[in-house]
A and B are shown apart, each in its own frame.
Chain A
Amino acid sequence: MTEKTLIEELRAGNTAALRDFVDRYQPLILQTARGFVHNSEDARDITQDVFLDVMTNLDRFRGQSGLSTWIYRITVNRSLNFIRSQKKRIPLSEMQTAESGTIHHPETQLSDPTQKNPVELLEQQDRSRILHAALESLPKNQRIAITLAEYDDLSYQQIAEVMGVTVSSVESLIFRARKNLQKKLWDCYKKSC
């Protein structure tokens, strides 16, 4: 089913088309959301919200950009809104950390059958923490560009379409993002953080 036909079928309320649509785009949305929120459960919630957004606003989609570009935009906005709303709350995990002095990583504490070695698990947690902190410290546009490049393997052209900027701007954003990341990681490496 082509993109155009799929949209028409979705507008007509075809449930088979909805299933096809969800199957086709769920991995894309999940991966992008995961790149921003670093938590599978939150990424799943965002994915559901994105699908609902797409379905309720399908009439507004004029087809000027590709469907996937439009979905990427919605996902990025949803993810950033989610991060903003999370910052306003004090996470329970932080409160527990403050009280007990222990570090709590809900994502990496989930049991993974392939990783049973506690030392490996701790190292994995540590690496995740360092990477997420480095990514979160980047300015918003650099973060969007690098996340779309690294987590979704989008080309510079595709990132430019999603962000509504030129390809040269994307090149510059990604270059600066990598430089900043490298700087953060170097500091971490030197200070053993």
Chain B
Amino acid sequence: MKCKMCRTNLIAFTRGQLTGEEANRIREHLESCEDCRLFADYQNSIYSVIQTEKKINPDPFLATRIEGLLQQPVIRNERQVLRPRLIPALAFSVFILAGIIGGIGLGKLIIPDNQQDQMARNELRILVDDLQQEPLESFILGL
């Protein structure tokens, strides 16, 4: 067995989750390979932390505390906590949207459609044909 293969299965091996043949192969490899054996010891020492952390003493007063908390008038759930935060944000968004739509509507009321077209056409004419703005004849005569 190669060292890499041994190391991959070490956790399952130390937890006793490997079948007989596989476990035997790892055991034999660990007997012959010092590097893997040292790593197995290291890994076991790290993994032993889990067993230590599992030992937590339950709180004997938890039931009483929960009883007290449940008797409080309102145990607010997260949805209720979120609601007050969402309302101002939504109201502000609606306000901004109404402002934009109102602005567009107002603009259309003040400048009628045909007048808008005329203005656009005039602006385009200036850009395309600047001789109307500054006729060549008047330029020559001016000289």
A38 an interface residue at 8 Å Cβ cutoff?
yes
CA distance A179 to B12 in the complex (A): 10
A23 an interface residue at 8 Å Cβ cutoff?
yes
Q: Is the Cβ of B7 less than 8 Å from the Cβ of A151?
A: no
Q: Is the Cβ of B77 less than 8 Å from the Cβ of A56?
A: yes
Q: Is the Cβ of B53 less than 8 Å from the Cβ of A151?
A: yes
CA distance A19 to B54 in the complex (A): 23
A44 an interface residue at 8 Å Cβ cutoff?
yes
Chain A residue at smallest Cβ distance from B66: A51
CB distance from A33 to the nearest CB of B (A): 9
Describe B's contact surface by its main secondary structure. Answer: helix
Contact of A127 among B7, B46, B54, B62 (CB under 8 A): B46
Contact of B54 among A44, A47, A151, A178 (CB under 8 A): A151
Give B39-85 interface residues, CB cut-off 8 Å to A. 39, 42-43, 45-50, 52-54, 56, 58-59, 62-63, 65-67, 69-70, 75, 77
B8 an interface residue at 8 Å Cβ cutoff?
yes
A residues in contact with B11, CB < 8 Å: 178, 181-182
Please name 14 pairs of A and B residues whose Cβ atoms are closer than 8 Å in the assembled complex, sorted by A. Answer: A15-B67, A18-B66, A18-B70, A19-B63, A19-B67, A35-B50, A38-B53, A44-B59, A48-B66, A52-B69, A55-B66, A127-B49, A128-B53, A186-B39
Chain A positions near chain B (C-beta within 8 angstroms): 15, 18-19, 22-23, 26-27, 30-31, 34-35, 38, 40, 43-44, 47-48, 51-52, 55-56, 124, 127-128, 130-131, 134, 150-151, 178-179, 181-182, 185-186, 189
